[in-house]
Structures are given as C-alpha cells and as structure tokens.
Chains A and B, each alone.
Chain A
Amino acid sequence: MVSPESNQTPKSSPTTIDQPTRLSMEGICKRFGATVALEDVNLEVRSGEVHALVGENGAGKSTLMRILSGATSPDRGSMRLDGRIFAPAHPLDARRHGIAMIYQELSLAPHLSVMENILLGMEPCYGGFIRWSQMRRRAQEALSELGLGDLPLESPVRALPPGLQQMVEIARALVTQAKVVVLDEPTSSLAQDDVAKLFRLVRRLRDRGLSVIYISHFLEEVKEISDRFTVLRDGHSVGTGLTAATPVNQIVQMMVGREVTDLYPRRARVRGEVILEVKTLSGNDKPKDVSLSLHRGEILGIAGLIGSGRTDLLRAIFGLAPVRRGEIRVGAFHGWSEPGKRWRQGVGYVSEDRKREGLAVGLSISANVTLPRLDHLGPLWFVLPKRERHAAEHWIDTLGIKCERPGQPVWTLSGGNQQKVALSRLLYADVDVLILDEPTRGIDVGSKAQIYRLIAQAAEGSPEYGARPKAILMVSSYLPELLGLCDRIGVMCRGQLVACAPVDDWTEHKLMLAATGQNIGIVNQQ
C-alpha cells in the first residue's frame, strides 16, 4: 500500500500548525427521531492541511459531512468558514462557498465527457451558447495542475477506470475554487498504485493551501497522508491530535473505548454437528477463498469494515450472489442454490438493508412474515388469509412486535419492530441456519436488547422457538455486540477471512486491528 517513494516525503510541513483555521464546526448536534447521531461534535480544520476524520461505522462521520455539505442542517451548533459564519441552505450553496465533496459513490455524469464533467454547472457561456474553446482550456488547466495533463478531454467519463474517474472529480473541485475538499473513503475502490497517485494528488492540493478532510477506515492510510486527525465515536468527538505524534494503537483506543454494558445474555451453549460448511469460496470480486464451518447451537460473528466482503460472503452462501469457486454444504445439500431452495434447505437470511431489500414495507406484517413459506397455509395452491393471520399473530405475540394488527403495513412500524418482523420470518419458516446481516442496524437500544435475547434463544433452542438449537451466522459492524453475543468471531479484510477464533481470544482492539489489515497473530481456527 505505502510506496517507498511516498514514505520518504515529509508527512506534514512544519508550518501546518501555524496555519490559520479554515473551517471550524462547533458543538454540532443532530438527532434523527429518538436516535442521537451527533452530540456536541467539534472539528477544526486549518488551511493547507490534510485532516483525517476517523471512527467506526456509524460513529457519525457521514452525518457530520452531510451537515458540512449542506445536505442537512444541524439541530444545534455553528460552523465558520474563514472566520465567517457558514450555514449552507442546500448542497449547491455549500459548493458555492467552496466545499467540495468527493463521495465513495462517484457523482459524475457517466455519459458526458471529461471536460463537460469538470465544468458541469459552470460552463463558460456566451449568450446561452457554450464556449467550447474556453471550456477545453479551463479543463486542461485544472488537469495539468493535478499532473493529469494527458487525460483525454473528449472521452466519456464512464470509459475511464474508477481511479481516474475520481481524479476527474477532484479536478472539478479545483475548478470550482474549492477551499475545503472532503474525500470520503476515497481508496475503497482503488487499486494500490492508484492509491499512491491519489496521495500525490492530495498532497498537491494541500500544498496549494486547500484544506482536505480525509475520511478512511484504513489507519495506515491515515498515518501516511494526514497531518492531524479527529476521532468520532458514537456521535461524540473524542479526540484530536497530530498524526505523526500519535501511535496507531492510541487512535484505535479512541475509536473503540466505550463501556461494555450488560446487554448480552450469555449462557453456556452446546455445540452440535456442523450444519453449514464453506470451503475456499470465491465470488466474482469478494469474498476471496473463504472457508468456515458453522455448528448447530453456535453463533459465529463476522467482523470487518464496510466493503470488506462480509455481506458478499453471506449473499454468496444464500444464493443471492454468484459463486466462482469453492464449496458450500448445508446439511445434506451441496453446491450453490438459489434463495428459494435455500429456504427449503433450512437457511434464512435477514438483509442489512431493511427498506430496499429486507422487507416489502408496503405489504402487511403477515404477508412479510409468511412469504418464504406459503405451502401449509391452505390446500393446494391456496393461501387462506385466516391461517396466514393466525401464523403472523403467533409471532407477533412471541416476539412482542408492537403493532395494532397483522394486516398493518410494515412501514407504519418503528425500526426495531420492523427488524423483528424480518427476524420472525426466519423463525416462522423454521430454518436451521439463520444468516443475519447487521441485525441491529439503526434500531434503539431497547429493541437491540430484545433482538439479542431472541438470537441467543434461537441458538440455545427452546420449545418456544422450535425445540432444536439453530446455527447463526451474523455480520455486524458494532463490535461490542459481536463480542457479547458470539461464540466465535471471524474478521474479514479485503475479501478474505483473515482470522477466526473463539470469542475469548478477541478484544475490540484486536478486532479493529485485524479489520484494518494489521497482523495480530490470530489465524483461522475452525
């Protein structure tokens, strides 16, 4: 990742410290309904510095940046840009003031040419007609300044590789006279030499006196590129400092240091036979050569950063994503199966994205619960609404789903109750293997505790949820939850399962190190 050449360049110019403040965000608070996204967050960025913003998934980085970009407004707190009060009404307003956002998902118009993209929205015009010669000149200037003078101006952006597309976006920031450039996970889709190129570019921006806010999970990148850093944790800013003077360990400590609460029911569980076995499984891109085995009565957690291939692994197992190599065995069944067959083999899946994929939110609770298994709700091909309602009522009662009636559309429920509907689908279908992707994302603490109890009960097996213990494969970004709930935890990094060990061998610190690609001496143990 780190090229020797770039290692030797000074990490920060000594003058950085004395630079005037470019942007300050003070006491920012933001709530979404009952959840607190940001609480009293401070961020101060100087001109001519690269400022890293780090934190776990869900720590509030994106919300903070959405506020900066004018996409949403803070409930409290203030922002200053170059000493003046800065309160963007909408994203365009923020752009006019010199805030340039470069997101993970590129925001280019793929069919337009490179120069059209660079000058999009500010084309040099003369009486309504575009002045192409001037457009070409200005685009060329911006690209040359970035050392990309050889980029073809006329070719459509979609013809470029992702790395170069990102450069085009940065060139656009330059043309718009940006003062603050925000790079959100810029390297997640880049190959290694593109990363080195990007870093050179970022340094060039810095040397021109721009402020760069650099968001990344990869701490080694943060170490290499940034001058200072700020850590967010659970919506609070917990620390800021000089990157060169702070060891990685200390940054990780800031990222994860929270009190462990007693949310997690933990009882001794009996590990039964192997029920799901995956051998050297590879998808189109991710996962890469993942092997694992899951026993009845066991909760196996998968940690890893977003984009590490966790979800892709689950989807490949469940048949929602293609498989290129490797073996999957579920009970007596070998090979890849489509989701319909997986349900019949006794495997169920809860999606990480409730609204887009997990639930048909326009349909009723009962329709959502019973969808994977309608065959015993009536004779032949019939589905009797009465039986369907009874089935749904049973799970509404046992899971304590707060609702008025089974026929109520799912979108009227709170997030926690929606998630219970998604989970009850697996219990209703009476599957043996529960594949859960972020089962507690975006729900309140009370519902989380209930869902933990449910998962634990399913693993232990109780008459209430079907007598036999079930096997659970669970992905989560929330490390305390994995440590509290799982029997074993595996960590994924860049598509591979880099470490898998009993939960007692893990700490949040170690999980974070493994997920960010550090070697921690834990290997795969089955």
Chain B
Amino acid sequence: MNESPKDNMVDLRRKERWDASFLSTLGRFTALAVVFLFFAILVEGGKFYSPRNLENILRQSAVYATASLGMTMVIIAAGIDLSIGSIIALSLVTVAWILDYHYVAQTADGQSVTVYLVRQYPVLLPWMALLVGIAVGTIAGFVNGVTIVWLRLVPFIVTLGTMGIFRGLAKGLANEKDIYPHEDTWLTQLMDPTLTSQDVHWRMWILPPGVWILIAAAVFAAVLLRYTRLGRYMYAVGSNEETARLCGVPVGRVKVVTYTLAGFFGGLAGLMQFSFIGGIGQPTSAVAYELFVIAAVVIGGGSLMGGQGSILGSVIGALIITILYMGGQQMGWPKWVQEAVIGVIIIAAVVIDRLRQQKVT
C-alpha cells in the first residue's frame, strides 16, 4: 500500500466523527433546545426558565433518565423491559419499608413501646435501605433475564408478566397503603432542590445529589457500552444474534447481564423516585413509567430492532419528555393534549431518524 490512500483514510476518519455520531447528537441537542425554547417563550412571565422550574425539570427527568440507562442497553440488545416502572416502585417501597421498620417491645416495667430501627441506627439504616433497594431492583432484573433466556420466551411477554408481579409485590410489601417512614433521613433529601434552597451548605451541591448520581451512572453506562467487551457483546447480540453466536459470544449470559443491569438502574431510579415524591413508599408510584423510559430511549436514537442506541441520546430523550410533560402542564393544556403531544413527538422522532439515515446512505 502506498501512502496516499492511507492519508485519505485519515481524512475520512475525521470526517466520519464529524458526520455520523456528532451530527445525530447535535440534532438531538437541537430538538431539546427547540422544545425548551417553545415553552420558555409561550409560558407566561418567564416562569418556565426560572431557576426553580429548571431544577424541577432536572429532578423529574433524573428518574426517567436513570431508568433509561438500563433500558438503552436492553434495547441495544434487541430486547424490551416493560417491567421497569414496577421495578422502580418495588425498590422504592423496599426503601420505605426498611426506613419504617419498627417493632413493639416490652420495657422492664411492662409497658410496650414501639422501637424504630431508624432511631437506633440513624446512619446505618439509610445505607442499608439504599443497598437493599438497589439489590431488589437488580434481582428483579436478573429474574427477567433468566426467565427470558432459560424459558426461551419473548422479552415482551416475560416483562409484561413481571410488570404485574413486581407491582403486586410492591403493593403486598406496603400492604396496599402508602408507607410514611417515621423520620426523614438523608435518603429523603436526595432529590431536594439545591440552588433554590435556603440552606447555604445545601446550595454548595449546585445540583441535587440524585442528579449527580445520574451523571455518574450515565458515565458508567456509556463507558460500559463503548469501551468494554460486554458493551460490544450487547451491540452484537442486538444487531444479529446469529452472528454473535457464530462469533462465540455467550448470547444467553449477555442477555441475563443486560436485564440485570436494567434492574440495577431501575433500583437506582426507585431510590430517586422515593426522594422525589417526598420520602413516601407509594406502591402505585411510577405507573406507566416504562412508556416514558422506552420513549426516551427511542427519541434518543435507540432502535427496537436492536443494535442502535446511545446513553447521551437517551438522557436527552428523557429531558425532552420531561419538558414536554411539564411544559404542557404549565401551559394549562388538558391532560389528553399532553399525552397526545408526547405520542406525536415519539413517532416524529422515529420518522426523522429514519429519514436522516436514508439520506446518509
């Protein structure tokens, strides 16, 4: 090979970064900006871009975005997880249940007192709740994955089933009532507003801790997808399962790990939702979130045929969904209009994506 074609190739390689991933990301940022400006202009009195509202958008979208990290992986591997909303609820109720754990004890003089574990272990218990909450989500995801792989069932059906099962477990654990933990802990404050807070120390966080968690989790997920063997395997399984098998990819294991990770991020999102709704263990929380989360991934460039999707795209997708939702509310649109608009945006995003791809070819 002589030198000139190679030089040429370097040129093209630079151009590639320019047009392929950069342009699509730029397109998504543009869409985000357009949606935001739309409401910023139309909502009266600049309320939409007030610090308070911006923070609210971030706080709400952090829950969707965190759950969408795992969903992105599942969709890249050509699967779907309809149970994510229920996983969020299950993890959230678990957290509340642990924080609320109490028993009745007899004192020496024969009186019965209620002992709250959280009073005995004010530091340890929130940590335990956090770990167990995430673990429960992870196990739920593992159950999804194992059922899909061992029983060779379609992900849609399995997660449709577990959507009911996990929701049922959450309600059972909470006795079909909201759990109000006896005391607020730092877990409750995870999603509290920071910049608009009265507390100077709290203001130093700049963003709510939950949003920082989201950022860390997103970086972790993006690195996993882009720079690890597991990430490669997810793309390969989703793009062509037969090829993956031929190339020696342990297809079944990859799927189990993918759904388990989705459960892990679902558990994390549950923690955030717990704090976002004010530290209540509400088993009916996060209903229909799976649709928002899937929509976020699809708006972010994920293809339900598998093999495509990006973490940054999904996070932007989650922001777009949240802005539409909250903007619609603040415009005083009736609920049905909000829902219809979100539906239209999802379809439009997919159509635009397809048109863009046809142009590239």
Contact = CB atoms under 8 A, between A and B. Distances in A.
Contacts of A412: 361
B245 interface: yes
B12 A404 contact: yes
B249 interface: yes
B250 A340 contact: yes
Interface stretch (B34-42, B187-195, B205-213, B235-243): B235-243
Nearest to A368: B243
B245 A371 contact: no
Contact of A363 (B227, B236, B246): B236
A340 B307 CA distance: 21
Interface in B1-50: 1, 6, 9, 12-13, 16, 20
A455 B243 CA distance: 22
Contacts of B242: 351, 356-357
B226 interface: yes
B249 A340 contact: yes
Given A407-B13, A407-B20, A412-B361, A360 B244 contact: yes
A372 B235 CA distance: 13
A341 interface: yes
A131 interface: no
Interface in B304-355: 307-308
A385 B226 contact: yes
Nearest to A389: B13
Contacts of A397: 1, 6
B359 interface: no
A410 to B, nearest CB: 10
A371 B16 contact: no
Contact of A351 (B228, B235, B246): B246
A351 B244 CA distance: 12
A339 B308 CA distance: 25
A375 B233 CA distance: 12
Given A360-B236, A405-B12, A372 B307 contact: no
Contacts of A343: 247-248
B308 A362 contact: yes
Most interface-central of B226, B227, B308 (chain A CB within 10 A)? B227
Given A340-B248, A340-B250, A383 B229 contact: yes
A320 interface: yes
B221 to A, nearest CB: 15
A360 B227 contact: no
A150 B123 CA distance: 81
Nearest to B243: A360
A480 interface: no
A174 interface: no
Contacts of B215: none
B316 to A, nearest CB: 22
Contact of B229 (A342, A344, A381): A381
B249 A405 contact: no
Interface of B is mostly: helix
Given A357-B240, A371-B232, A381-B230, A342 B248 contact: yes
Interface residues of B, number: 30
Count chain A CB atoms within 10 A of each CB in B231, B239, B248, B308 and give the residue with the most. B248
Interface in A330-369: 338-344, 349, 351, 356-363, 367-368
A272 interface: no
A364 to B, nearest CB: 9
Contacts of A383: 227-229, 231-232
B353 to A, nearest CB: 14
A371 B228 contact: no
Interface residues of A, number: 41
A357 B236 CA distance: 12
Contacts of A389: 13
A201 interface: no
B227 A382 contact: yes
A381 B228 contact: yes
A360 B78 CA distance: 13
Contacts of B239: 360-363
Contacts of B20: 407
A374 interface: yes
Interface string B287-317: 0000000000000000000011000000000
A428 B232 CA distance: 17
B227 A371 contact: no
A430 B9 CA distance: 25
A395 to B, nearest CB: 12
A341 B250 CA distance: 10
A339 B244 CA distance: 10
Contacts of A340: 248-250
Instruction: From B228, B229, B307, name the one whose CB has the most chain A CB atoms within 10 angstroms.
Output: B229
A523 interface: no
Interface string A370-390: 111011001001111100010
B248 A357 contact: no
A367 B240 contact: no
Given A360-B307, A362-B308, A367-B236, A382 B248 contact: no
A360 B232 CA distance: 12
B37 to A, nearest CB: 33
Interface centre among B230, B245, B246, B248 (most CB of A within 10 A): B246
A393 B242 CA distance: 25
B229 A407 contact: no
Interface string B245-279: 11111100000000000000000000000000000
B227 A384 contact: yes
Contacts of B1: 397
Given A359-B240, A407-B13, A320 B246 contact: yes
A349 B235 contact: no
Contact of B235 (A320, A359, A367): A367
Contact of A362 (B9, B13, B307): B307
B240 A360 contact: yes
A236 interface: no
Contacts of B16: 404-405, 407-408
A288 interface: no
B227 A357 contact: no
Given A360-B239, A361-B240, A371-B232, A320 B226 contact: no
A276 to B, nearest CB: 17
A339 B236 contact: no
Contacts of B244: 360, 371
B15 to A, nearest CB: 8
Nearest to B226: A385
A385 B228 CA distance: 10
Contacts of B308: 362
A372 B247 contact: yes
Interface in A248-292: none
Given A340-B250, A343-B248, A407-B13, A357 B243 contact: yes
Report which residue of B230, B231, B232, B361 has the largest number of chain A beta carbons within 10 angstroms of its beta carbon: B232
A385 B17 CA distance: 13
Contacts of A351: 242, 246
Interface string B214-234: 000000000000111111100
A423 to B, nearest CB: 13
15 contacts: A340-B248, A343-B247, A357-B242, A357-B246, A358-B243, A360-B240, A371-B232, A371-B247, A374-B229, A382-B228, A383-B227, A384-B227, A404-B16, A407-B16, A425-B247
Interface of A: 320, 338-344, 349, 351, 356-363, 367-368, 370-372, 374-375, 378, 381-385, 389, 393, 397, 404-408, 412, 425
Given A344-B248, A384-B227, A404-B16, 5 more contacts: A356-B240, A357-B243, A362-B239, A382-B229, A383-B228
